[in-house]
Amino acid sequence: MTTLARPTNGRMIGGVCAALARRFGTSATTMRVIFLLSCLLPGPQFLLYIALWILLPSEDKTRTAW
């Protein structure tokens, strides 16, 4: 099982979609499309993205901790 961390490679803005894609075993493009489509629905998608951007550690920071 992979840890949930924002990757240093392959990120577009904050790396949140890339981290979720890696965790759930799908491509980052698929996760980005899902996120964009979810923005058509009412809800706090942007706030959730920002919260995950703040809360998820960057992959380079998790590597130095070990």
Asked, for residue 10, whether it belongs to a domain, the answer is no
H-helix or E-strand spanning residue 33:
helix 28-38
Task: DSSP letter for 40, please.
Answer: T
H-helix or E-strand spanning residue 61:
helix 59-65
Asked, for residue 38, whether it belongs to a domain, the answer is yes
Asked, for residue 32, whether it belongs to a domain, the answer is yes
What residues make up the domain containing 36?
16-65
* pLDDT tens profile 8-55: 887 888 999 999 999 999 999 999 999 999 999 999 999 999 999 999
Asked, for residue 61, whether it belongs to a domain, the answer is yes
pTM listed for this prediction: 0.79
Domain count, the chain: 1
Q: Summarize the confidence of residues 48-66 as an average pLDDT.
A: 81
Question: How far does Cα 61 stand from its chain's mean position?
Answer: 15
**6-17 burial code (b ≥16 CB/10 A, e <16):** beeeebeebbbb
